[in-house]
Structure 1
């Protein structure tokens, strides 16, 4: 580990914003779509809007260290509110827009926030639904105009900011004076964990936590002078987007364009023509699946040409980026196929996209290789909310497929006796808010316990095996990581999501959700009569196809890792359905409880299978 000083670029995030407002005054900072048109705020305008929000919060009596919440989807108002809170020397408490009213109530009660920013009436109504549980809630500030209830008055952000009254020189000096009092070790935010492992905990992160993680990450990916256009669609409430797609973007003077919604991401990519994006693997899985579905529809000669191009691309990527050797004739072949095929694929993503940053869950090795082959590499990182988030990160110069990269500078990692990854570094949280017991359990002699099982190779590359608490231990004593199996299943064109189960059982089973587009095509191909999707997934011919696809995967696995039986569900896992976190990770406990009867029905009373053939069921 390097021992040089941390060399923070700024003492605080507000100091960084002030610098941006001066240095990049006329450069676009934020872009958003309104009334069908893309609009932008320059860094100078953005800074003034933040100062106005800070002025308004000051008039509401916000004190240094006070907690102020944001309950909103990604939009310009989110970051104006966040930075306004920070410039008022307060602490931002983000809440996922997908949270239920009960979850919102818990965060507000635990954090003690009396002021909440909301995006629209839908989010406001969550507050109304739990109004009697929130006696300390005083003020709601909305990004959209609507009439609130008398029991909970609502004001518009423009009213708070007094938008028609520009910041005077005296007001600006007063706010900037209080901004200068913010230090690197001051608390910046409380981010409540998604609760996949129990009751949500408020992670305390400082200005230094974010600033050092953003700076080192930028340096690894090309430096702070790299001016990019980020398309933002992951929740800003999540630490990955907060650091990599927001604070790091501001640090480099880049432009942040907010996608209209997750469903509009593909459309917005073409419109915005981003150069960089932060995402979780689910987006890449869909991209990979869609491209190969189109390849399947090609004529045999074109299909053969595509596969030849991919094979040449794979050889080129390994030769250049993994082995670091001259490419020679192979490079010429790759450039030929790049002009002929890969450049056309990149045009589907706006034509300017240079790289993805992937985090939140393991990215399948095959998909990552493919992204590098087509010329849009995914730099995979690893971390947690508690580590701001990045602990490791790959780059063009440091990459091994299947790995999450090497540790960031100033960061130490090691393995505990049971293989759990431990980390020590400047990005590690201060602790859990009002929860000393959980804080002490998470730390061991200055090392943070990640809860993930990992291995570290001789070159320092880290490979995540699985969550420590999610490792399946079969009745036969075999330890099996479910995520690699689930990722393999999701590569199949007919499968959208997969959940593998088998803890203390004699064999593994799976819940499978179908790719609905491919499922309907399958129904047409086989001339099946059906009333709805539930009837279609119950059809014996459909189940036989899925059984065959799973058997093809089983042929590559040791017997104890094979999927013996499965349930085919009529709908996908979703955030709204409760099976996924806001960053699209499986809520394993929730899924098991929700489908307990169907899962347990795949085992007989003695926990053994009547035969070793696939026995598909439908939900």
Structure 2
């Protein structure tokens, strides 16, 4: 099993229940305070859940769905299902009833765990559509319409009845029988380009990635506290923010919700977190918003410290040269400026891991400057997920690092990244045709266009399917342009469009707080936000901001026209995946009339700049 010291995830928990018996494994908020389970107690709860599932008729190979936010019950039912030799199928808590029905039916799940009444009622709405579900198990007790058979996790686990020696031996015999090639989970893709596909991942796939990802960082310690807030339904959080820390004997604390992450950071004081770029974008914007409110002297001190910090980080970590006197100046800036910023995140955050989408180079540099290194990785649900990862010893901003050990990368003729390695999936569940389509002579086709430089650093250009081909034949990657736009203090989100069209346009969502501040300063009268984003002064401001971005781009990549959307794209609105990636097709369909008008109507445009188009195709 490629030197990974465990054969299965339940086997790992079994061993660590002895090695780290009294250490905290997981903690969760209940009744206003965090409650902890030790490794020994956590393992006991896993065995009890497995006992209950076996009594409920779960057989090896059966699929068990988990429809819940991150919490202790998620972890107990996940590993408990595996200990019963079942296959877990996570469902995003934000999924609609219809989306949940698709996953449950496609995976043929017999039992569904839910977090609370909200998720249970989603199942009630689709009761007739999911006839294969025999039982629902809730992490919370509730009353009301219980037409679906429902137990609580406590009832299923028979928590008041200790495991008998015979029960424990029987379950542990099952755990012993699980091997690296056995299926651990079927994880459904977030569906940015079509119906979700069920990615079949083995214990070996996911343990390899957790083990070699941790080994590559070399910075994860047994004393670390991971704050888990990204959905465990997503493979990045499951591997890097859950399997990896439990493998190392570290502590996983579950955030109450995405909205309460900052509050929970103050309570838990995490040392590390797994994040997506959107969170870092918000951190970057909020810090600069606070700086904007400072007096001129403090503002100058901040920007001077950041600029000096950039030089220090470049010298120390990118060029790997002695920093000399610059190191002393950086330590002073850290004491005066950056340490105060870190206190807002609990004061102990040593590093973060970023994945799921490209992280803007400027924002990544800024995080390193303030003393919270962000290690950017790259991968897919189909690769468990990590294929590459940056480290303190191998860092290039704008790159996603180098390949993990035992991971082979290659480029197809059109620049598509191909991969082989122990973390690559078994295939798509119940879809031989789609599985065959993504493999080429033993290599998995990632669907991403990439560049690998002479030192082995991987640079992701964009999704192959998202590359814009204009009517003039130019191939343009939208994500780098969107990242440039989002660095502007007035722009919260951006989607660039132009496939088959003569030029690029953008849909932009503004930072509402800054827009309201502007309206007050400029004495702009408006009825509501929708009225405000159509105001001539506001549109003129955005024209200026986009013109500034255009000045840094080749002419064929410039934004010729734009439209302002009065609210952010969101998961609830259907425009973002649960991991906050743009659903371009949905956004285009939703705002097609606005996009079409940008190509039909005169005005709201930018003059052509004289610029060479040499090397236009990326």
Worse-superposed segment, 224-233 or 91-100: 224-233
SS for the counterpart of 2:177 is coil
Q: Is the 8 A contact 2:562 2:604 kept in 1?
A: no
Going from structure 1 to structure 2, the CA distance change for 1:150 and 1:76 (only over 3 Å counts) comes to closer
Of 335, 340, 347, the residue aligned with 2:336 is 340
Q: What is the aligned partner in structure 2 of residue 511 from structure 1?
A: 507
1:532 aligns with 2:528: yes
1:257 aligns with 2:253: yes
Structure 2 distance, partners of 1:500, 1:159, is 51
Structure 2 distance, partners of 1:271, 1:294, is 22
1:24 aligns with 2:20: yes
- TM-score of the aligned structures, taking structure 1 as reference length: 0.96
Worse-superposed segment, 90-99 or 140-149: 140-149
Q: What is the aligned partner in structure 2 of residue 578 from structure 1?
A: 574
Q: Is the 8 A contact 2:21 2:38 kept in 1?
A: yes
SS for the counterpart of 2:600 is coil
1:458 aligns with 2:454: yes
Q: Is the 8 A contact 1:227 1:252 kept in 2?
A: no
Q: What is the aligned partner in structure 2 of residue 87 from structure 1?
A: 83
Q: What is the aligned partner in structure 2 of residue 502 from structure 1?
A: 498
How far is 1:611 from its partner?
A: 7.9
Structure 1 distance, partners of 2:405, 2:130, is 43
Equivalent residues in 2 for 1:318-329, closer than 5 Å:
318-329=314-325
Of 591, 600, 606, the residue aligned with 1:613 is 606
How far is 1:61 from its partner?
A: 1.4
Of 142, 146, 152, the residue aligned with 1:146 is 142
How far is 1:224 from its partner?
A: 6.3
Structure 1 distance, partners of 2:92, 2:211, is 26
Q: What is the aligned partner in structure 2 of residue 8 from structure 1?
A: 4
Q: What is the aligned partner in structure 1 of residue 93 from structure 2?
A: 97
Q: What is the aligned partner in structure 1 of residue 242 from structure 2?
A: 246
Q: What is the aligned partner in structure 2 of residue 188 from structure 1?
A: 184
- TM-score of the aligned structures, taking structure 2 as reference length: 0.97
Q: Is the 8 A contact 2:492 2:509 kept in 1?
A: yes
Structure 2 distance, partners of 1:122, 1:320, is 50
Cα deviations across residues 162-216 of structure 1 (Å, max 9, x unaligned)? 1111222222111111100000000000001111111111000000001110000
1:277 aligns with 2:273: yes
Equivalent residues in 2 for 1:152-171, closer than 5 Å:
152-171=148-167
Q: What is the aligned partner in structure 1 of residue 63 from structure 2?
A: 67
Q: What is the aligned partner in structure 2 of residue 360 from structure 1?
A: 356
Cα deviations across residues 213-240 of structure 1 (Å, max 9, x unaligned)? 0000111111665431011110000000
Q: What is the aligned partner in structure 1 of residue 588 from structure 2?
A: 592
Worse-superposed segment, 437-446 or 472-481: 472-481
1:371 aligns with 2:364: no
Of 218, 221, 224, the residue aligned with 1:222 is 218
SS for the counterpart of 1:603 is helix
Structure 2 distance, partners of 1:93, 1:288, is 35
Structure 1 distance, partners of 2:535, 2:311, is 42
Equivalent residues in 2 for 1:352-501, closer than 5 Å:
352-501=348-497
1:304 aligns with 2:304: no
Q: Is the 8 A contact 1:147 1:154 kept in 2?
A: no
Structure 2 distance, partners of 1:613, 1:250, is 54
Of 186, 190, 194, the residue aligned with 1:198 is 194
Structure 1 distance, partners of 2:488, 2:163, is 57
How far is 1:418 from its partner?
A: 0.3
Q: Is the 8 A contact 2:571 2:578 kept in 1?
A: yes
Structure 2 distance, partners of 1:288, 1:497, is 14
SS for the counterpart of 1:421 is strand
Of 204, 208, 213, the residue aligned with 2:209 is 213
Cα deviations across residues 67-124 of structure 1 (Å, max 9, x unaligned)? 0000000111000000100000110000001111111111111111110000011111
Of 175, 184, 200, the residue aligned with 1:179 is 175
Q: Is the 8 A contact 2:26 2:252 kept in 1?
A: yes
1:350 aligns with 2:346: yes
Q: Is the 8 A contact 1:72 1:78 kept in 2?
A: yes
Worse-superposed segment, 401-410 or 21-30: 21-30
Structure 2 distance, partners of 1:8, 1:285, is 35
Worse-superposed segment, 529-538 or 325-334: 529-538
Residue segments in structure 2 that go unaligned for 5+ positions in a row: 608-618
SS for the counterpart of 1:294 is helix
Worse-superposed segment, 427-436 or 118-127: 118-127
Structure 1 distance, partners of 2:563, 2:220, is 49
Structure 2 distance, partners of 1:223, 1:64, is 37
How far is 1:553 from its partner?
A: 0.6
Cα deviations across residues 225-283 of structure 1 (Å, max 9, x unaligned)? 54310111100000000000000010011111111111111111111100000000000
Structure 2 distance, partners of 1:525, 1:82, is 53
Q: What is the aligned partner in structure 1 of residue 227 from structure 2?
A: 231
Aligned length: 608
How far is 1:149 from its partner?
A: 3.3
Structure 2 distance, partners of 1:143, 1:405, is 39
SS for the counterpart of 1:464 is strand
Structure 1 distance, partners of 2:425, 2:567, is 38
Q: What is the aligned partner in structure 2 of residue 617 from structure 1?
A: none
